[in-house]
Chains A and B, each alone.
Chain A
Amino acid sequence: MSRAARALLPPLALLAIVIGAWEAYADSGATSSFVLPAPHSVAASLWDNAGFIAGNLGPTAEEIVLGIALALALGFALAVLIHFSGVLRRAVYPLAVGSQAVPVAVIAPLLVFWWGFGVLPKLAVVVLICFFPVLVTTVDGLARIERDQLKLLRTLDASRWQAFRFAELPAALPAAISGARIALAVGVIGAYIAESQTITSGAHAGLGHEINADLTALQTPRAYAAALVLFALAIACFYALTLAERALAPWASRPGGETP
């Protein structure tokens, strides 16, 4: 069996089992098709509404991809500041934790007031939700360089900046990407919440907005089709992060390549 087949077969087999069970359950008549549409009707809806769903995918994908990228940058930058300054650690960390407790609905009107009805306020919500896991894992990654390593660098005449550049920064990269993986899991649902909580103008308001509208209108198969697209988007982003890690931090996936 080729490597690709070995990588793809288990998830595809599991997916086939889940879809088979779902189809059997939906076809048995135990629930209404408004509550749980059968996979074949979801697939048909996806086919029939491909253009409509693709149009709504645009802004949502933008929110998620751009949001994760900005969260990665923001979380990393804050982590470096926290790493270097005890004052900033004490000032920023509690507020960062607190920011995660603020319900999106509370700040949504303000974000719309500032940035209008487009993608920007949703992007802000995704960044707000996603920067936190990146911040936490990066702070840990920066601290993972041992004191002995820093002593060694010091006797090689490294400045504080060089110790950061040669040791701490590379050590923190895979940690930050792990944070982005966690952020991805909350980021997709974050984009949905953002679209639900903010008013939107325009024909293509995003998949989250579409799902809410379809559920209200009892267009359940199309809501499921849109959710399926979100599902696929999350998986695609996950693998994109894995590829990014291989490119940026190839040592992290080598055996024995853990941080000293």
Chain B
Amino acid sequence: MNLWGNAREGSEVATTITQPAQPPAGKRAGDRAIVLRNVGHTFADRGGNAVHALADVSLQAQRGELLALVGPSGCGKTTLLELICALQAPQQGTIDSEPAVLMPQRDLLLPWLSAVDNAALALRIAHVPRAAARSRAAALFAQLGLDGFEHAHPAELSGGMRQRVAFARTLLSGKPVLCLDEPFGALDAITRAEMQQWLAGALAREPRTTVLVTHDVEEAILLADRVLVLSPRPGRVIGELVVSAPRPRARTDGNVIALRERALELLSRGASS
């Protein structure tokens, strides 16, 4: 049950996670930010049943790449992100990643903090004085289309705004890898489309290595450089799509439509096998 205890065990496996300045020679060659080799993972659910979440997943992400993972619900996508973020240690295989920060599906903003203080949480955790942390977060607010909402409390913000604040909090952690777990899954269709455009713009200005987990194939293709398709549980990589269409991409773009059909075909084949 102890998250902090588990994480320490995890750091034995992925020791580089706390040492971003010195990647171990040979393990993560050149410009690769994330390398997973033959990762398998089983966990016990609330009822104590063993859940085989991942089986033999190997993947890599280049520095600065936006890698999308799509798959049916319960295919171990969230587990994969938690492994990359070193919240858990994999039971099989190895994970080597630059320090990664998690942005969960729910914004999980703290209701007692203003928007700007929520965004600055990682800075406060890093012992940056309050005023300096606020001014750094406020500077980012303008870039992210949040200006004017610095002192609003989470309850006063719309779902889309809350996700923007959560994204600002994620960016301000300063970690080179962002793990976004269905970041727009809880939003309505219109807000979701807006937020996809917004995220593409935000990442263009603040490039990071990003792993985007989604069950929305179109979202993956609109945003990602590369899409990996996962099978139902236990999750395995069953297909890879390289998205070379220029940005900004439109849903109606021929390339986007073709790739979407290809991904859906892979998903349905994975579901029936």
Contacts and interface: CB of A to CB of B under 8 A. Distances in A.
B125 A251 contact: no
B211 interface: no
Given A156-B122, A166-B121, A167-B110, A147 B3 contact: yes
A170 B106 contact: no
Interface of B: 3-4, 7, 82, 85-87, 100-102, 104, 106, 108-112, 121-122, 124-126, 153-155, 169, 173, 175, 179
- Ranked nearest first, the 9 interchain pairs of A and B with the lowest CB-CB distance are A256-B155, A155-B102, A156-B122, A251-B111, A170-B112, A251-B112, A257-B111, A160-B4, A155-B85
B125 to A, nearest CB: 5
Given A148-B106, A251-B112, A260-B111, A154 B87 contact: yes
Nearest to A167: B110
A158 B125 contact: yes
A151 B155 contact: no
Q: In which size bucket is the chain A interface?
A: 20 to 34
Interface in A203-260: 249-251, 254-260
Interface of A: 146-160, 162-163, 166-167, 170, 249-251, 254-260
Contacts of A250: 112
A149 B68 CA distance: 23
A151 B14 CA distance: 17
Given A146-B108, A159-B4, 17 more contacts: A148-B106, A151-B87, A153-B121, A155-B100, A155-B173, A156-B173, A157-B125, A166-B110, A166-B121, A166-B124, A250-B112, A251-B112, A251-B153, A254-B155, A255-B155, A260-B106, A260-B110
Contacts of A257: 111, 153, 155
A170 B102 contact: no
B163 to A, nearest CB: 14
Contacts of A154: 3-4, 7, 87
